[in-house]
Amino acid sequence: MISIIAPLLGGLGLFLLGMALMTDGLKTAAGDALRSILGTWTRTRARGLVAGAFITAAVQSSSAVTVATIGFVNAGLLTLSQAIWVVFGANVGTTMTGWLVSQVGLKLDWGALALPLIGIGMIAGLALKARPRLGGAAQAAAGFGLFFLGVGLLQEAFSGLAPQIAGLNLEDAGIFAIPLFILVGALLTTLTQSSSAAMAITLTASAGGAVPLPLAAAAVIGANIGTTSTALFAAIGATPAAQRVAMAHVAFNAVTAIGALALLPLLLWASEGVLDGAHLVDDTPGRLAAFHTLFNILGILLILPLAPRLTRWLAGLFLTPDEAVSRPEFLDSNLLQTPALAVRSLALECWRLHVLALELAGERLGAAPGARVRLSHRHEALLELTSAIRAFLDELTGTSLPAEAGKAISDLVRAVHHAEEALAVSAALHALPASRTGPALKPFWDRMSAQVRDSLAAAADREVFTDTDPDAEAAFQALKTALLEALAEGSATLAPVDNGLARAQLMRRLAKAARDGRERLARWHDGEAPLQAEEAQ
């Protein structure tokens, strides 16, 4: 038994080592080309699909492509809709490993081919350390050698196990055999973190005919399911966007597995036709490789009509508070057919933006420097909300609008400007160091701070509009005079006075932006009489 287990474990280890060397070497040899493809070839669904398949076939690792895609989403370089098609394509590209094993690895004299590749590749890799791309190609060659060597050892091990496997009478195992082999394939992939390894084991185990074709196909389906574990592990601790990509991978592989099981006899029959049509070796490993490709292509066809709904569903998963803030609550493109309702929803969204911007500004007034990152994320979320409002405005102004709606839009556009100014000014205010102009000026600073907070609170009051501009201006002028007098008397130096004046001016601008935004929204934020009268006509 040891004589069988030893080459089995050794073959698996060599296969995984070869895959790792081959993947790393090919990525190094390609340089920035693969990153460029991933970043620029994904603007449409078809191009994302092709890019995912091509890169995976090139580097021989769907896991590497999936993890890289999650990283791109984490960095904001790919959107969810772009990334999911790269992941779908990676599932097709990973089927190349099955073809390599079935058509090359199991057919060649692995000793005569693998050993020279390993030796030449490693020696060339050491000699070409100063030239990374050539060295990467040499490393990939050594990886191919180890890959074929591992396949050869696995084949040798399973040839020794064939009599024992044949004695199990797997063909008579009943209805539980297929689910069992799906589980075996999924476990092998999860444990090795490589669907390619699970494929190699399945193909070599089936080469002698000990494992019936339908059960081996079930193990291939299981390997496809198990490969989602890599994406799920990569998504742990990642951004919500990256977690959605991982869930897209799970959803695609689940749909693919269901389709493959439902059409298992048909797909196995079609795989024989593919081999005959391509004039390839028609045996059990070859059929499994063709089956693997066919059912992943089937998965693409099945997911195609579901993709828009899937994307929308995924977009609602793992929402953070900031992401919830960035999404409009009242805007709906279906309302564009009724301008009065569209303007009302726009007014409500502008009021929401106004209040959220003032809440952030108020939090920044008393926030410690350590809160800057958290507040910056909220700031970016509100900027996304303003972009959504502007996009809706652009669509709305492209329709035929009555005169009253046009007046409302003018005020609402200005309200968005004031909200953006409040965000920008509060960010600049938070970035400035605290004032150090001495205790004598503290009452003036306290009065200014209190007035700004009163202005923010008054501007956020939905029921009553209060003009706080005169009080804010009076507090600013008193503070400015006190700062300049302190400089003239010598009780404060120029640097803190300059900083104090800059801070005071920003505080005045914040109070004014809040007040002006509330004034613009005063007539429209709850859809008052003018729009209601228009609807009644």
pLDDT grade, residue 359 (50/70/90)? very high
Q: Is 254 helix (H, G, I), strand (E, B) or coil?
A: helix
Per residue in 195-223, pLDDT (tens digit) is 777 787 788 777 766 678 888 899 899 98
Structure tokens at 50: 């092709």
State the alpha helices, DSSP H only, in 128-239: 132-166, 177-192, 195-207, 213-226, 228-235
Type of residue found at 389: I
**What's the pLDDT at 58?**
72
Structure tokens at 479: 């503070």
**What's the pLDDT at 417?**
94
pLDDT grade, residue 167 (50/70/90)? very low
pLDDT grade, residue 447 (50/70/90)? very high
Q: What is the DSSP string of 285-347?
A: HHHHHHHHHHHHHHHHHHHTTTHHHHHHHHHTTT--HHHHHHS-SS--GGGGGSHHHHHHHHH
* Mean pLDDT, residues 105-115 taken together: 64
Structure tokens at 62: 């769907």
* Mean pLDDT, residues 89-113 taken together: 76
Q: What share of the chain is helix, strand, coil (3-state, %, to 5)?
A: 80, 0, 20
**What's the pLDDT at 263?**
92
Of 109-123, 128-142, 147-161, 245-259, minimum mean pLDDT range? 147-161
d(CA 470, CA 427): 24
Under a CB-based contact definition with an 8 Å cutoff, are residues 144 and 122 in contact? no
* Phi-psi map region of 527: left, alpha, beta (phi>0 left; psi -120 to 50 alpha): left
Fold exhibited by the domain 323-536: Methane Monooxygenase Hydroxylase; Chain G, domain 1 (1.20.58)
**What's the pLDDT at 532?**
39
Under a CB-based contact definition with an 8 Å cutoff, are residues 154 and 198 in contact? no
* Mean pLDDT, residues 476-499 taken together: 89
* Mean pLDDT, residues 470-477 taken together: 92
Long-range contacts of 430-435 (CB under 8 A, 24+ apart): 430/364, 430/367, 430/372, 430/375, 431/372, 432/499, 432/502, 432/503, 432/506, 433/499, 435/496, 435/499, 435/500, 435/503
pLDDT greater than 50 at residue 442: yes
d(CA 326, CA 348): 15
Per residue in 407-426, pLDDT (tens digit) is 788 889 999 999 999 999 99
Tokens 């009268």, residue?
A: 533
pLDDT greater than 60 at residue 466: yes
pLDDT grade, residue 234 (50/70/90)? low
Does the pTM surpass 0.75? The reply is no
* Domain spans, the chain: 2-315, 323-536
Render the burial of 262-292: b for 16+ CB within 10 Å, e for the rest.
eebeebbebbeebbeeeebeebbbbbbbbbb
Of 14-28, 120-134, 368-382, minimum mean pLDDT range? 14-28
Rank 76-90, 314-328, 330-344, 464-478 by mean pLDDT and report only the highest: 464-478
* Mean pLDDT, residues 245-258 taken together: 90
pLDDT grade, residue 54 (50/70/90)? confident
For the chain, what is the mean pLDDT?
Answer: 80
Structure tokens at 257: 């597995």
Tell me how many degrees the CA angle 486-491-495 measures, rounded to the nearest 5: 75
**What's the pLDDT at 170?**
58
**What's the pLDDT at 168?**
52
pLDDT greater than 90 at residue 161: no
- CA distances to 21, 154, 195, 210, 342 from 12, in Å: 14, 7, 12, 19, 63
pLDDT greater than 80 at residue 159: no
Give the closest residue to 152 by CA, choosing from 190, 191, 202, 106: 106
Q: What is the DSSP string of 168-181?
A: T-GGGS-TTHHHHH
* Mean pLDDT, residues 328-356 taken together: 84
Please return the burial class of 185, using the count of CB atoms within 10 Å of its CB with bins 0-12, 13-18 and 19+: buried
pLDDT greater than 60 at residue 293: yes
d(CA 361, CA 33): 44
Question: What are the φ/ψ torsions at residue 227 (nearest 5 degrees)?
Answer: -65, -15
* Mean pLDDT, residues 427-450 taken together: 85
pLDDT greater than 80 at residue 256: yes
Tokens 């700062």, residue?
A: 483
d(CA 157, CA 149): 12
pLDDT grade, residue 452 (50/70/90)? very high
Of the two residues 146 and 370, the one the predictor is more confident about is 146
Structure tokens at 459: 């501007």
- CA distances to 77, 169, 218, 373 from 90, in Å: 18, 36, 20, 35
Under a CB-based contact definition with an 8 Å cutoff, are residues 48 and 89 in contact? yes
**What's the pLDDT at 531?**
39
d(CA 130, CA 384): 46
pLDDT greater than 70 at residue 103: yes
Find the length of the chain: 537
pLDDT grade, residue 158 (50/70/90)? low
d(CA 202, CA 61): 17
Of the two residues 194 and 356, the one the predictor is more confident about is 356
Give me the sign of the Cα torsion angle 213, 219, 223, 224. Answer: positive
d(CA 323, CA 378): 9
Of the two residues 474 and 122, the one the predictor is more confident about is 474
Q: Is 522 helix (H, G, I), strand (E, B) or coil?
A: coil
Type of residue found at 524: W
**What's the pLDDT at 237?**
66
**What's the pLDDT at 537?**
33
Tell me how many degrees the CA angle 453-458-459 measures, rounded to the nearest 5: 100
Render the burial of 405-437: b for 16+ CB within 10 Å, e for the rest.
beebbebbbbbbebbbbbbbbbbebbeeeebeb
